[in-house]
């Protein structure tokens, strides 16, 4: 047995012809080993093998060194350490090519760059380009996140890792799945170009159909065609930003915010939403859908503000400019609107007008109350005017300073007028023939209706009344001052769809969390050998 000193001297002598050239070339050098054995075409190094290639220090238990080819095969406790960069790679086996500067590491590979570690069974590390690539599965771990995928590429110069195929990112707060992801270890940000699904530890779902950006430290997300579904709300937009610590959303293009408790969904072009405050602002062809058990209230406006605070006084919806509302038993328009959740009251301002079956009502301002999902009563203030059509399509009219209306089964059934009351209603014979017109002036007027026909009337002290026979009725006598039948302005469902046509969320959209987990285990060498031995031997036929 030769002494370690003799081996070291021999290795030094073998290296002399290459020394001057090695400093500026890519020659792979032998530094030391416990034992050197020569063989045809290569040298065998045994025990505490140490080699050097430019800035890389290489060590292993044993190696085959192909001097003429400038490459080596490394066995057992392989380590490649970069003295210029904080990069260390270990494995059970490796092939190192000094000319191409490519290391192929196999089995129990660990690639370490400061606090980032990459685990795999197959890694190719190109020292020329400073790029490490793994295949057939790998895992990256840093101080916050764990990332796994089938394929991966680590660009060290750019501190960028690309993950492809069955990518899973796990951190203490979220789990993300996608097919393609770029991760920056230093800011700890993840970017995906395609379908991305995230589930939070609370069970919230965050999805992007066309890619996402995720700051794993700040807990900030940006989704393209994104949707966030929580216990209390659902928010969707073509471009959706979400700040998880602030519970703040910001959306652009086709924004929609659903308040699950209130069954209220708001749509628009641009919107913001504070989840903890339950406060949202939506602009640009804004639309509201208020869901009832058997009906839906639609409302459009330029701008919508929704607040659902803890106090009853902080539970409301505001709509500004070009307000239209449509429900099965109600249509209306106004400049602005306030919907109070506490008492289901709709406050309408600035030339509001409502249509209910055969009636039209208008005033400077009005409040409509909904009870058990149907119209219950309405209160009109200043320049209140009501018009009801009867079976002959005559216009029964009422006006005054204030007016209160009651609804029965969703239809106007009673009106009470206060202050400067006037009424004009047609007297019919058998509901088929007009007899004339009753015109009455009174400080207060009370009227009851059935199918637009006046069935009962009450008047204040000393009313001033006049009956006009049908043959004497002209346009002036058939109209109260201020009469305007504006049914051509009545909004309908087509009005809502023309303002904003909603594309409903597809419940069948692909979600990577819905796909079954399939783990294929490779057989061990012992299992393979056993299978070979148990395989039946094919008998060859004789000729």
Contact 244, 255 (CB under 8 A): no
Amino acid 170: pLDDT: 93
d(CA 356, CA 204): 42
At 521 the pLDDT is: 61
Q: What is the chain's mean pLDDT, rounded?
A: 87
Q: What is the pLDDT of residue 541?
A: 46
pLDDT of residue 11: 42
Phi-psi region at 75: left, alpha or beta (left = phi > 0; alpha = psi -120 to 50): beta
Dump strand ranges (E) for 142-247.
146-149, 151-155, 160-170, 174-184, 189-192, 196-200, 205-208, 212-215, 220-229, 233-243
Residues of the chain where predicted confidence (pLDDT) is lower than 50? 1-24, 538-543
**Strand-pair partners of 456:** 448
Out of 64, 83, 115, a domain closes at 115
pLDDT tens per residue, range 468-514:
898 888 888 899 999 999 999 999 999 999 999 998 888 888 999 98
Please answer whether residues 220 and 212 qualify as being in contact, where contact means their C-beta atoms are separated by less than 8 angstroms.
Answer: no
Contacts 24+ apart (CB under 8 A), 62-71: 63/33, 65/28, 65/30, 66/41, 66/42, 67/42, 67/43, 68/41, 69/99, 70/26, 70/27, 70/28, 70/97, 70/98, 70/99, 71/28, 71/95, 71/96, 71/97, 71/98, 71/99
Among 417, 421, 414, smallest CA distance to 403 is for: 417
| 188 lies in some domain | no
Residue 100 sits in a domain of what CATH number? 2.60.450.10
- 371 belongs to a structural domain: yes
> For the chain, what is the total number of helices (H) and then of strands (E)?
3, 36
Element (H, E) at 114: none
Cβ atoms of 110 and 132 closer than 8 Å: no
* Cα distance between residue 94 and residue 86, in whole Å: 20
Contact 385, 424 (CB under 8 A): no
Evaluate whether residue 189 is within a structural domain: no
On whether residue 403 sits in a domain, the answer given is yes
CATH of the domain at 425: 2.60.450
Q: In the structure encoding, which two tokens stand for residue 81, read together?
A: 């350490």
- 460 and 444 Cβ atoms separated by less than 8 Å: yes
- Model confidence pLDDT, tens digit, residues 263-298: 889 999 999 999 888 888 999 999 999 898 888 999
The domain of 93 spans 23-115
Give CA–CA dist 1/3, Å, rounded.
6
Last residue of a domain, one of 83, 99, 115: 115
Count of structural domains, the chain: 2
Whether 12 is covered by a domain: the verdict is no
Maximal C-alpha separation, the chain: 138
Three-class secondary structure assignment of 247-282: CEEEEEEEEEEEECCCCEEEEEEEEEEECCCCEEEE
Q: Which residues pair with 314 in a beta bridge?
A: none
Helix extents (H) in 323-419: none
Residue 53 is assigned to a structural domain of this protein? yes
The answer as to whether 266 is a domain residue is no
Number of residues that make up the chain: 543
CA 524 to the chain's CA centroid = 44
The answer to the question of residue 516 being in a domain is no
Phi, psi of 72 (to 5 degrees): -145, 150
pLDDT value of position 357: 83
What DSSP element (H or E) covers 494?
helix 493-499
């Amino acid at each position: 047995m030769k002494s370690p000193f003799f081996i070291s001297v021999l290795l030094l002598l073998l290296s002399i012809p290459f020394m001057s050239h090695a400093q500026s070339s890519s020659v792979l050098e032998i530094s030391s080993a416990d034992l050197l054995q020569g063989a045809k075409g290569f040298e065998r190094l045994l025990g505490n093998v140490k080699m050097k290639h430019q800035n890389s220090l290489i060590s292993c238990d044993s190696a085959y060194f192909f001097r003429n080819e400038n490459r080596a095969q490394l066995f057992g406790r392989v380590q490649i350490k970069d003295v210029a960069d904080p990069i260390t790679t270990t494995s059970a086996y490796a092939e190192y090519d000094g000319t191409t500067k490519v290391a192929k590491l196999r089995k129990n590979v660990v690639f370490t760059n400061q606090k980032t570690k990459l685990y795999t069974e197959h890694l190719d590390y190109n020292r020329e380009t400073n790029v490490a690539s793994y295949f057939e599965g790998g895992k990256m771990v840093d101080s916050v996140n764990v990332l796994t995928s089938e394929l991966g590429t680590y660009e060290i110069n750019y501190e960028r890792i690309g993950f492809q195929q069955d990518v899973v990112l796990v951190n203490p707060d979220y789990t993300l799945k996608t097919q393609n992801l770029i991760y920056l270890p230093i800011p700890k940000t993840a970017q995906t170009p395609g379908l991305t699904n995230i589930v939070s530890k609370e069970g919230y779902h965050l999805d992007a159909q066309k890619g996402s950006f995720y700051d794993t430290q700040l807990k900030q997300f940006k989704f393209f065609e994104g949707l966030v579904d929580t216990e209390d709300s659902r928010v969707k937009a073509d471009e959706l930003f979400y700040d998880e610590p602030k519970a703040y959303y910001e959306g652009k293009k086709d924004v929609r915010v659903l308040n699950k408790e209130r069954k209220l969904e708001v749509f628009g072009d641009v919107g913001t939403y504070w989840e903890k405050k339950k406060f949202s602002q939506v602009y640009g062809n804004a639309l509201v859908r208020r869901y009832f058990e058997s009906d839906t209230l639609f409302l459009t406006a330029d701008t919508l503000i929704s607040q659902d605070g803890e106090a009853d006084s902080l539970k409301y919806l505001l709509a500004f400019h070009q307000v239209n509302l449509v429900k099965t038993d109600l249509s209306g328009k106004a400049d602005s609107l306030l919907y109070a959740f506490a008492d289901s009251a709709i406050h309408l301002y600035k030339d509001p007008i409502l249509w209910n079956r055969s009636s039209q009502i208008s005033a400077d301002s009005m409040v409509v109350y909904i009870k058990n999902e149907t119209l219950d009563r309405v209160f009109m203030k200043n320049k209140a005017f009501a018009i009801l059509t009867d079976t002959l399509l005559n216009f029964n009219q009422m006006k005054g300073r204030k007016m209160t209306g009651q609804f029965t089964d969703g239809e106007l059934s009673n009106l009470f007028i206060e202050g400067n009351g006037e009424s004009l209603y047609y007297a019919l014979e058998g509901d088929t023939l007009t007899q004339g017109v009753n015109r009455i002036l009174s400080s207060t007027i009370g009227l009851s209706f059935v199918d637009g026909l006046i069935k009962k009337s009450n008047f204040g002290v000393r009313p001033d009344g006049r009956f006009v026979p049908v043959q004497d009725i002209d346009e002036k006598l058939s109209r109260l001052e201020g009469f305007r039948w504006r049914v051509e302005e009545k909004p309908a469902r087509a009005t809502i769809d023309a303002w904003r046509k909603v594309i409903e969320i597809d419940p069948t959209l692909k979600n990577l969390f819905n796909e079954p987990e399939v783990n294929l285990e490779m057989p061990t060498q012992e299992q393979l050998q056993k299978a070979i031995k148990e395989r039946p031997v094919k008998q060859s036929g004789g000729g």
